[in-house]
A and B are shown apart, each in its own frame.
Chain A
Amino acid sequence: MENNNDQLPLWEVFIQKGGSPFKHEGSIHASDKNMALQNARDIYTRRGEGRLIWVVPSDSIAATTVEEEAEFFDPADDKIYRHPTFYKMPEGAKNI
């Protein structure tokens, strides 16, 4: 984990509110899971912004890169038949 001076390791914070999906809120520094959860609570939920928190060590996150973007998403780009507007509906058909 990147910690070349004496800052504690970096964790990414995700918070869920209501029935919504977990949302990335930012990051915090902590030495272990418990401290990461407590710091995330103190920094990102002081006003009821959510009651469920995930913390993930930042270096455990795999991410797509901008350089690979075109190639990576290419397989989905030409499948326009995945979109409902691709299909022709018979005249007069309703509620579909």
Chain B
Amino acid sequence: MTEEEKLNHFNSLIERDEKIEPKDWMPEAYRKTVLRQMTQHAHSEVIGMQPEGNWVLRAPTLRAKKILLAKIQDEGGHGLYLYSAAETLGMDRSEMIEQLHEGKAKYSHIFNYPTLNWADIGAIGWLVDGAAIVNQVSLQRTSYGPYARAMVRICKEESFHQRQGYEIMATMMNGTTAQKDMAQDAMNRWWWPSLMMFGPSDKDSWHTQESMHWKIKRASNDDLRQKFIDKTVDQAYVIGLTVPDKDLKFNETTKHWEIGDINWDEFWNVVKGNGLCNHKRISHHIQYHNEGKWVRQAVMSYSEKMNAIQTAASI
């Protein structure tokens, strides 16, 4: 096939809503975009374990602790599904981790905010995972096969995450005044950053158009954000939380909640590395990656020795 025929074949697969698989021919820019998005997504899952890990030893009950541990294990699992999907495009895992450590690969800006009180764990599950689900449900239909299949698996697991978070918030809103204040404080701090998770407004997002054309993304940042706002505002109301937005209003014509202006300067400042926890998140990852080096060496050395013994025995 000529280059042009290959491109036509690729475009017709996209057109027919069929999946692009690892060994298929694909434009270099498609490969790069999918790889960038998958590694960024994988890093987000793994770095996202840190703010929650902060509360494992201080969870208020054994039940809460067990749930939190299971949730964090899921996040690690999600990172591994995604790394494995990204590896199908031929990038070595070591290179992905190197890019993370050197700041060349990004992860979601949301994990650079600190978890200050127990209600933050509720807010993360309810708002942060809630926002992630809206995005991930849409990505189940992404055009790259391994990415789409990883998303299907992840979506099945995420709804437990969101429900456990909402339960924490609901429980605290049923508690003492101090507990209610903590829940509202967490809401005040996590609401806006959660809305920013969908990325810049469509008019400012230079990645969106190309990604939509190739069906890597299936819905625009603003559409997904609106979907999240409409669901979440009602959920906040049900448990008595106030949405920290004085401009929030319901549009009777469109049947959508309309929000005030998002502070994009804050978003870009965090993305560029100046959030409260950027340095901490990466230095923590580097530290544990390096401290695990001897384990990786030891298990490989054990495996090589066992293989040598087996080979010798079979001669």
Residues of A within 8 A of B156 (CB): 47
Within 8 A of B (CB), among A1-41: 2-8, 10, 26-29, 31-32, 35
Which residues does chain B contribute within 8 Å of A32, judged by CB atoms? Answer: 299, 302-303, 306
Docked CA distance A27–B93 (Å): 12
Query: How many residue pairs between the two chains, A and B, have CB atoms under 8 Å in the bound complex?
Result: 57
Measured CB to CB, the nearest residue on chain A to B96 is A7
Q: A31-B300, A66-B24 are in contact. Are A43 and B81 (CB under 8 A)?
A: yes
Which A54-73 residues have a C-beta within 8 angstroms of B? 63, 65-66
Contact B80 A28 (CB under 8 A): yes
Q: Which of B28-36, B84-92, B205-213 contacts A (4 or more CB under 8 A)?
A: B84-92
- Nearest chain-A residue to B301 (Cβ)? A31
Contact with A along B75-109 (1 / 0, CB 8 A): 00100110011010000111100000000000000
Contact status B157-A8, CB under 8 Å: no
Q: How far is the CA of A35 from the CA of B295 in the complex (A)?
A: 13
Give which listed residue, B84, B293, B299, contacts A27 with CB less than 8 A: B84
Q: A26-B85, A29-B93 are in contact. Are A66 and B80 (CB under 8 A)?
A: no
Q: A7-B93, A7-B94 are in contact. Are A35 and B299 (CB under 8 A)?
A: yes
Q: Give the residue of B77, B87, B92, B299 whose beta carbon is less than 8 angstroms from that of A46.
A: B77
Does A42 reach chain B (CB closer than 8 Å)? yes
Residue of B nearest to A58 (CB): B87
Bound: A63/B23 CA distance, A: 10
Do A6 and B24 touch (CB < 8 A)? Answer: no
Q: Which residues of B contact A6 (CB under 8 A)?
A: 94, 293, 296-297, 300
Interface size class of A (residues with CB under 8 A): 20 to 34
Q: Shortest CB–CB separation between residue A26 and chain B, in angstroms? A: 5
B74 proximal to A (CB < 8 A)? yes
Mask, B127-168, CB within 8 Å of A = 1, is 000000000000000000010011000001100000000000
Contacts of B84 in A (CB 8 A): 26-28
| B interface residues, tally (CB under 8 Å) | 28
B25 interfacial contact with A, CB 8 Å: yes
Q: Which residues of A contact B77 (CB under 8 A)?
A: 42-43, 46
Residues of A within 8 A of B94 (CB): 4-7
Nearest to B21 among chain A residues (CB) is A66
Tell whether A66 pairs with B299 under 8 Å between CB atoms, given A4-B92, A6-B293, A26-B85.
no
With an 8 A cutoff between CB atoms, is B242 at the interface?
no
Contact A66 B23 (CB under 8 A): yes
A3 to B87, CA, bound (A): 13
In the bound complex, residues from chain B placing their C-beta under 8 Å from that of A65 are: 23
Instruction: Give chain B residues whose Cβ lies under 8 Å from the Cβ of A2.
Output: 92
How many Å lie between the Cα of A75 and that of B87 in the bound state? 33
Measured CA separation A7–B87 after assembly (Å): 12
Chain B residue at minimal CB-CB distance from A66: B23
Partner of B74, one of A4, A8, A46, A63: A46
> Considering the chains assembled together, what is the distance between the CA atoms of A65 and B25 in angstroms?
11
Q: Residue of B at shortest CB range from A32?
A: B303
Question: Could you list 19 A-B pairs, sorted by A, with CB under 8 Å?
Answer: A2-B92, A6-B94, A6-B297, A6-B300, A7-B92, A8-B296, A8-B299, A8-B300, A26-B84, A26-B85, A26-B146, A31-B299, A42-B77, A46-B73, A46-B74, A47-B156, A47-B157, A66-B24, A66-B25
Chain A residues within CB distance 8 Å of chain B: 2-8, 10, 26-29, 31-32, 35, 42-43, 46-47, 63, 65-66
